[in-house]
Amino acid sequence: MNYRNDSFLTIDVEEYFHLTGITGIPPLSDWDALPGFVEKNLFTLFDLLDSYQVKATLFFLGYVAKKYPQLVKEALKRGHEIASHGMYHQLVYGMTPEAFLQDINDSKHIIEDISGIQVNGYRSPCFSATAKNPWLFDKLIEAGFKFDSSVFPAKRFDGGLKTKNNAPYWINTPSGRLLEFPISVVSIFGKNVCFFGGGYLRFFPKEIIIHMAKRLYKKNIPVMYYIHPREIDANHPRMKVGYWQHFKSYINLKTVPSKLNNLMKIGRFTTCGKYLDRLDINKDFV
């Protein structure tokens, strides 16, 4: 059986101030005092997904899940999948293996206590799986995760990890194995380019994004889309950052709803966990 025509819509559930790698971002000690927008924006996304009967995989920050447990419960009520985005949005390559294991265990246990179900998936903040932290996958397996979506197979400021795989693939380690869901890229003149999430989805016109998605579909490669709740809200608060940082964080926010509406019309969506379950049931190894 071939499930590579599936697409995945994923949401990194974090606040508008959970940016990394740029100056002017408030420290953890200030987070609780800042106004929250994630609840309002996530409900907007929930209603949009409901209108297309699309189920998403939500990578919750442990911090957000603990502060807004009702969001975890609402996501489950609407049939979405719950996964972990770590605890405090820290870049993995800036952590020790021991600190990383503590971080993912803390977030996993918080989300499991709220949801009452096992959390099987993880995505690193800013796709910070790199050659600097080859132990990341061993630690995920040690913590009990079954799949990951941290690999960004193109150059980027906060991460990037080379791989020849553009579809879900098994990562084997001495500790076991887990299924990797890499971020989708398209080769343009020999360079991998992302069109399908975050600033990339906001920057490129929807006609180009749809064209690139169809290129992957023709190759039987599923498309991994990702979005943040703040990106559905063009009026969310702006951080005081430099010009280039402002461009990356806020370009074309008003285009996001239209793009999502169009993308959900051309894809056949499933969650990462359901894809993994079907592989196990049908022994259809990728």
Q: What is the pLDDT of residues 232-259, one digit of tens each?
A: 999 999 998 888 888 889 999 999 999 9
Has residue 180 got a pLDDT over 80?
yes
- Confidence category of residue 5, pLDDT binned at 50, 70, 90: low
Residue 34 lies in a domain: yes
Domain holding 250: CATH number? 3.20.20.370
Residue 152 lies in a domain: yes
Query: Is the pLDDT score of 228 beyond 80?
Result: yes
Q: Which amino acid is at 264?
A: M
What is the C-alpha end-to-end distance of the chain, expressed in Å? Answer: 11
Give the span between the Cα atoms of 37 and 26, in whole angstroms.
15
Flag whether 113 is in a domain: yes
**Mean pLDDT score of the chain:** 93
Task: Establish if 1 belongs to a structural domain.
Answer: no
Q: Is residue 78 part of a domain?
A: yes
- pLDDT of 145-177, one tens digit each? 999 999 999 877 667 888 889 999 999 999 899
Instruction: Provide the number of structural domains found in the chain.
Output: 1
pLDDT at 278 over 70: yes
Domain contains 44: yes
Q: Is residue 173 part of a domain?
A: yes
Give 36-68 pLDDT, tens digit per residue.
Answer: 999 999 999 999 999 999 999 999 999 999 999
Which amino acid is residue 71, in one-letter code? L
Share of the chain above pLDDT 90, in %: 81
Answer yes or no: is 40 within a domain.
Answer: yes
What's the mean pLDDT in 12-41?
Answer: 92
Does the structure show a pLDDT above 50 at 1?
A: no
| Angle of the 38-52 helix axis to the 256-266 helix axis, nearest 10 | 30
Alpha-carbon distance 88 to 86, whole Å?
6
Range of the structural domain that residue 20 is part of = 6-282
For the residues 185-191, what does the mean pLDDT come to? 93
Q: What band does 285 get if pLDDT is binned at 50, 70 and 90?
A: very low
Q: Evaluate whether 100 touches 136 at the Cβ level (below 8 Å).
A: yes
pLDDT in tens, 59-115: 999 999 999 999 999 999 999 999 999 999 999 999 999 999 999 999 999 999 999
Per cent of the chain over pLDDT 70 is: 95
Helix (H, G, I), strand (E, B) or coil at 206: helix
